[in-house]
Amino acid sequence: MSYRNKPNSIPNLKGIVTLADAYGYSCKFLGNLYELSEARAISLRLFEDLLGFGQTSVILGNDIVLNEEKLNLLCDSLTNLALHLPVQYVTGKTFFREMMLWVNESVLIPRPETEELVQWVLDDLKTGQLNNVSPSIWDIGTGSGAIAISLAREWGSSVLFASDISNDALQVARSNGQNNHVNIRFFSHDILTDPLPEHKFDIVVSNPPYVMDAEKKLMQPNVLDNEPSLALFVPDDDPLVFYRAIALAAARVLKRGGALYFEINENLGQDTVSVVQSAGFSDVELKRDFLGKERFIKGVIG
């Protein structure tokens, strides 16, 4: 999402009556903040997710009159977007691997790259590389629950555990699990300090914090100002602190032949490989995402 600049005024929907007029105004207002194509896409998302109108109705809705409640809701949403609040937080929902997830400022908004991490695990399960058709899986730092819920939905015979240090995040994850009709054992856990579960797992998967403080200047304000810093940032002097802790923990809780999967900082690929190898993993593989960036690591415990 690429920003242009911040609107100089708050939205004013005075005189707006029809759905088509409201859509046109939304695109124009957001066009001061985003590229026009993004302004249109975000407007359509607002009208569908918040106001309940599909794309065809929005574009052709000259005869549809909006009531005061819907106009006020649109006005509030445009105000929040002008303050750089991500559209997913404005609507309260996002989509990940074709499922709907509730999101708020307690959790990161799941990224497309993370869908690839889930797919890697599923591909290995389908090809029998993990030697267990009913794997026990631990998702560490689950956030919205995107990874764990996807695996539970798409590999129904798995047994899923998911943990997070944030109780607010766990509340969101539990709601998403219920909404998507999966059975996951969510629990509070700090991988840096808490005792490890006594359970033995076939897979440990994690997308831990990996953005260095020095990289903040490269981030868009909608992310920097709104998404939870606890789930994003690591100190410049120890950017792999969570990878080291999770790799060492995984080496202890995984069954022989079990696998560890990570999403990683694209700038720290080889360093992260070394961390995983030092924890005792073999056959460590570094994989690129759809943009060609070094984004994922897998290791197998002997």
- Taking only the tens place, the pLDDT of each residue in 33-56 is 889 999 999 999 999 998 999 988
Q: What percent of the chain has pLDDT over 70?
A: 90
- Average pLDDT for 49-75: 89
Neighbours of 296 (CB within 10 A): 24
Q: What is the pLDDT of residues 239-296, one digit of tens each?
A: 999 999 999 999 999 999 999 999 999 999 999 999 999 999 999 999 999 999 999 9
- Note the pLDDT of residue 136: 97
Contacts for 149 with CB less than 8 Å, ≥ 6 apart: 99, 101, 173, 176, 177, 180, 182, 184
Most confident among 4-8, 34-38, 56-60 (mean pLDDT): 34-38
- Note the pLDDT of residue 9: 62
pTM for the model stands at 0.90
- Alpha-carbon gap, residue 109 to 36, rounded angstroms: 23
- Note the pLDDT of residue 286: 98
- Alpha-carbon gap, residue 168 to 89, rounded angstroms: 15
Residue 206's beta-bridge partner residues? 140, 262
At 251, the amino acid letter reads A
- Side-chain-side CA neighbours of 77 within 13 Å: the count stands at 28
- Note the pLDDT of residue 33: 87
Burial class (CB in 10 A: 0-12, 13-18, 19+), 204: buried
- Note the pLDDT of residue 216: 62
- Note the pLDDT of residue 3: 45
Contacts for 250 with CB less than 8 Å, ≥ 6 apart: 201, 204, 258, 260, 279, 281, 301
3-state secondary structure (DSSP) of residue 96: strand
Q: At what angle do helices 68-82 and 19-30 cross, to 10 degrees?
A: 10
29, pLDDT greater than 50: yes
Q: Could you tell me if 94 and 88 are in contact, meaning their C-beta atoms sit under 8 angstroms apart? A: yes
6, pLDDT greater than 60: no
- Note the pLDDT of residue 227: 66
Element (H, E) at 296: strand 294-301
- Side-chain-side CA neighbours of 239 within 13 Å: the count stands at 15
Structural tokens at position 98: 């074709």
CA nearest neighbour of 4 among 24, 29, 41 = 29
Structural tokens at position 168: 């607010």
In angstroms, how far is CA 99 from the centroid of its own chain?
12
Structural tokens at position 234: 């690591």
Q: What is the pLDDT of residues 116-161, one digit of tens each?
A: 999 999 999 999 887 677 999 999 999 999 999 999 999 999 999 9
Residue 45's alpha-carbon distances to 74, 84, 132, 203, 296, in angstroms, are: 11, 16, 41, 36, 30
